[in-house]
A and B are shown apart, each in its own frame.
Chain A
Amino acid sequence: MLDYVTSYLHSSLTPGQAGNWLWALVYILVIFAGVSGIVIVMNWGERKALAHMQVRLGPMRVGPHGLMQPIADAIKLLTKEDIMPSEADKPIFWLAPVWVVMIAFSVFIVVPFGPTHAVTDMNIGILFMLGVSSLGVLGIVMAGWASNSHFPLMGALRSSAQMVSYEIAMGLAVVSAIVMTGLGGIGPYGIGSGAGSGTLSMIGIVQAQAQQHVWFIFKFFPVGLVAFFIFAVAMIAETNRAPFDLPEAESELVAGFHTEYSGLRWSLFMLGEYAGMVAVSSIAITLWLGGWLRPFPSTHGPAINIPFLWEHPEQGVVDFAFSFAPALVMLALAFFSFFNAMRMPKHPLLKIQTIGLYAFGLVLAGVGLILLAPPVRDRIQDIFWFVFKIACFMYLYIWYRATWPRYRFDQLMKVGWKVLLPLGLGVLLVTGIIGLGPEIAAWLKGVV
């Protein structure tokens, strides 16, 4: 038994590939907790960031700068009365939020947070992700149908139409990235094609980017960038976020498909939505932004060796410098907390808040210090960069929401079918033509 547990520790495979069910379960639990944690942080972060963009303060009362607000919200939602409309289709009404959450989290099975940090690595990883995540719409349609009310029904209809339209553009963009994995070699236009691995595996895609020394967003510039742009637009539409939040358009459909939901069920929808945002961001990161790779992954610099602090002969000074990033981010946040704690007005009523903020800063500083320790530091690298990129995407989601009005349904369809779809097809064609350029040239020569 112990062997079963320890045998995996020195494996260079994901637990799924190694066939180690126990570690797979551990990974599942850790990822579930981690994604839920991101959702909680996102909850607070969205409210604060949105508030500051809108010249207001956001949550300020529950804990220092509202830090405990997500917890208070969770308690509120859990203790709220559970209302089910009497005319609702009860089993489906019950199933819909569960379904949405299940789907949103299932996707994470193949998301690689590092070379081995995934539950499993499938050879059809990206296909699995797209396939499973598009099942999420079923939950929304179920919710809209089961509520037996007009606003949710319209929200569900909008949602299904929207998903179908944008999945096509999204798929084309993804295919263009997958084609890139098969087009290895260096150089501005990838001459020397056919050297890549050509894979659908999520880990394989990132490794292809590492081997080709380029994030796919910069490959065949600007082809990769356009493909990423298509995906970035489609993924907002897929997750029903502003400016494509038509299925839950507050000012039109009250709350869209979850109008009749409240309390825990409603919070499950929210959890599913935010988890879905993390999931699609993970796809974008994996496909175009180098997954767990740090910026400039192939620049190592001169090799150095510092006893106990840096004992990686194959890596260089640049790696050494980047390895401090996780700790530095945490310490910067800690400094920010201390700075704001000092700026707190000196008022007896704010005493607990000030102390709380100091304590929060201390916790962050403590985490930062732990991250400085070499064993932790080396193991956290991949995960840190992945989560950091997710955080950037989350911030963009918030920013979009604060900036843009909502599209109308026909305009949404127009963007999907008339702009993104042709663009996606074009990108796919151009990727193929550029990638297979030498072969085509050779073939043409043969013909002539």
Chain B
Amino acid sequence: MTDSTKSGFYQETAGPDQTFLDANELVLNMGPQHPSTHGVLRVILRLDGEKVLGTECVIGYLHRGVEKIAENRTYTMFNPYVDRMDYVAAVSNGLGYCLAVEKLLNIEAPPRAAYIRVVLTELNRMASHQLWLGTHALDIGAMTPLFYTFRDREEILKIYEKYCGARLTTHAFRIGGTLYETYDGFEQDVNNFVKFVTPKIGEYEELLTTNRIWVERTKGVGVLSGKDCIDFGVTGPVLRAGGVKWDLRKAQPYSMYDKFDFEIPTGENGDTFDRYIVRIAEMRQSLRIIDQAVNSIPAGPIMAKVPKVMKPAVGEVYVSIEAPKGELGYFVVSDGSTQPYRVRVRPPSFVNLQALDKMVRGALVADVVAVIGTLDIVLGEVDR
């Protein structure tokens, strides 16, 4: 543990990772503008030839001060801002925030709203994983899966567009439920999507799962065991690939997730290949949830009784959900006024990125991009 926590590599000099033949080290600045750092992440690599001796992540290039903005907006006004954090899973962000404020207000969304939320959130998980798969494959050099996944993700975005008019930063949920009723044919669209995309997942697998180069590039790369994951606070598919069967949707169900039947896929080795398999399996589980949820949306109101001016009682809550990237938490403090006194976002990408150094030490440059890809970070969320 002691070694891995020393991320500032400037202090480190000699040691077990001295360079081969005492050659000079090469310090390579990967990013902030680099094709595969998934945004404006800068990773300073200390290299011995191709071997990575140490890394340091420099983040914050996309810092917009979301938490400070929250303190200067009302609860309702801040709602759209959260979509801009993890912009590929905007719906999940919105769900987490709404649940947190609902908890603070001590209200609960009506069942119909909860079901709609589940459908949209799981669709979003699909979309996020598809985008991850495409870009991750591109990082490893396989171009084609990117276009396949984007083709299928498009169908999800179309459903969002029909539902709330926006494709990416949807602002689909409101505190207390949802603003929009499902449109005519929503169930049909979602069912069609499930039917359409189920064989497509097999198609992605055909391209990659048994591809020798893909397996060689991912097996044993960036290993992070379940124990290390917990130590580093890494959650989501990365944790599950390490063999820890933990999913907030099961462990502490929210938004009626306990009503649905699904499994938590896990891996064994905690390497890049396992994370790939886990995410593929999660897509299938998401489809299962969508299938169950969309065909049993109960009738009823979609909005709880929410005061026009929200003034939650003084207090603080922490509510977290299982976002596609891991545990996404909101720690909201109210001082009894209309504006949150403090909103703290616990971003899964930020915490997961911390494990990068441990995962790539001793690996090769090509593994660094594979590992950055497999962590599934979104810089909008890392930097907030």
Which residues of A does B touch, CB under 8 Å?
A: 50, 53-56, 150-151, 153-154, 157-158, 242-243, 245-246, 249-254, 401-411
Complex interface: chain B residues within 8 A of A242 (CB): 141
Cβ of B213 within 8 Å of any chain A Cβ, yes or no, is yes
Could you tell me if A406 and B140 are in contact, using CB atoms closer than 8 angstroms? yes
A404 with B213, Cβ < 8 A, contacts A150-B29, A251-B138, A252-B36 known: yes
Complex interface: chain A residues within 8 A of B213 (CB): 243, 404-407, 411
Starting from the known contacts A407-B217, A410-B364, 20 additional A-B residue pairs (CB-CB under 8 Å) come to A55-B148, A150-B27, A151-B28, A154-B26, A154-B365, A157-B49, A251-B369, A252-B366, A402-B143, A404-B211, A405-B140, A405-B211, A405-B217, A407-B213, A408-B367, A409-B364, A409-B366, A410-B50, A411-B213, A411-B216
With both beta carbons as reference points, the residue of chain A lying nearest to B26 in the complex is identified as A150
Could you tell me if A405 and B26 are in contact, using CB atoms closer than 8 angstroms? no
Complex interface: chain B residues within 8 A of A401 (CB): 143
Could you tell me if B211 and A54 are in contact, using CB atoms closer than 8 angstroms? no
Cβ of B328 within 8 Å of any chain A Cβ, yes or no, is no
Q: How far is the CA of A377 from the CA of B331 in the complex (A)?
A: 80
Could you tell me if A408 and B36 are in contact, using CB atoms closer than 8 angstroms? no
Cβ of B151 within 8 Å of any chain A Cβ, yes or no, is yes
Q: What total count of A-B pairs have CB within 8 Å?
A: 89
Could you tell me if B141 and A404 are in contact, using CB atoms closer than 8 angstroms? yes
A/B interface sample: 30 pairs, CB < 8 A: A54-B147, A54-B148, A55-B148, A56-B147, A150-B26, A150-B27, A150-B29, A151-B28, A154-B26, A158-B50, A243-B141, A243-B213, A249-B366, A250-B35, A251-B138, A251-B139, A252-B36, A252-B368, A253-B365, A254-B35, A401-B143, A404-B142, A405-B141, A405-B142, A406-B213, A406-B366, A407-B141, A407-B217, A408-B367, A411-B217
Pick the residue among B28, B142, B207 that contacts A154 (CB under 8 A): B28
Cβ of B144 within 8 Å of any chain A Cβ, yes or no, is yes
Cβ of B137 within 8 Å of any chain A Cβ, yes or no, is yes
Q: How far is the CB of A183 from chain B (nearest CB, A)?
A: 34
Q: How far is the CB of A240 from chain B (nearest CB, A)?
A: 13
With both beta carbons as reference points, the residue of chain B lying nearest to A157 in the complex is identified as B49
Q: How far is the CA of A408 from the CA of B140 in the complex (A)?
A: 9
Complex interface: chain A residues within 8 A of B73 (CB): none
A55 with B36, Cβ < 8 A, contacts A150-B26, A406-B141 known: no
Q: How far is the CA of A53 from the CA of B214 in the complex (A)?
A: 19
Q: How far is the CB of B151 from chain A (nearest CB, A)?
A: 5
Could you tell me if A254 and B34 are in contact, using CB atoms closer than 8 angstroms? yes
Q: Which of B26, B142, B368 has the most CB of A within 10 A?
A: B142
Q: How far is the CA of A361 from the CA of B364 in the complex (A)?
A: 51
Q: How far is the CA of A250 from the CA of B36 in the complex (A)?
A: 8
**Chief secondary structure at chain B's binding surface:** helix
Complex interface: chain B residues within 8 A of A243 (CB): 141, 213
Q: Which of A53, A151, A408, A410 has the most CB of B within 10 A?
A: A408
Could you tell me if B217 and A251 are in contact, using CB atoms closer than 8 angstroms? no
B261-312 interface with A by 8 A CB criterion: none
B101-143 interface with A by 8 A CB criterion: 137-143
Complex interface: chain A residues within 8 A of B148 (CB): 54-55
B207-221 interface with A by 8 A CB criterion: 207-208, 211, 213-214, 216-217
Q: How far is the CA of A242 from the CA of B27 in the complex (A)?
A: 27
Complex interface: chain B residues within 8 A of A407 (CB): 141, 213, 216-217
Q: How far is the CB of A37 from chain B (nearest CB, A)?
A: 26
A409 with B50, Cβ < 8 A, contacts A150-B29, A245-B141, A402-B143 known: yes
Complex interface: chain A residues within 8 A of B217 (CB): 405-408, 411
Complex interface: chain B residues within 8 A of A55 (CB): 147-148, 151
Q: How far is the CA of A55 from the CA of B61 in the complex (A)?
A: 34
Q: How far is the CB of A60 from chain B (nearest CB, A)?
A: 15
With both beta carbons as reference points, the residue of chain B lying nearest to A54 in the complex is identified as B147
Complex interface: chain A residues within 8 A of B214 (CB): 405
Could you tell me if B147 and A405 are in contact, using CB atoms closer than 8 angstroms? no
With both beta carbons as reference points, the residue of chain B lying nearest to A158 in the complex is identified as B50
Complex interface: chain B residues within 8 A of A405 (CB): 137, 140-142, 208, 211, 213-214, 217
Q: How far is the CB of B169 from chain A (nearest CB, A)?
A: 25
Q: How far is the CA of A362 from the CA of B188 in the complex (A)?
A: 49
Complex interface: chain B residues within 8 A of A253 (CB): 365
Q: How far is the CA of A250 from the CA of B369 in the complex (A)?
A: 11
Could you tell me if A403 and B144 are in contact, using CB atoms closer than 8 angstroms? yes
With both beta carbons as reference points, the residue of chain A lying nearest to B152 in the complex is identified as A55
With both beta carbons as reference points, the residue of chain B lying nearest to A410 in the complex is identified as B364
A150 with B28, Cβ < 8 A, contacts A251-B36, A254-B34, A406-B140 known: yes
Q: How far is the CA of A157 from the CA of B365 in the complex (A)?
A: 13
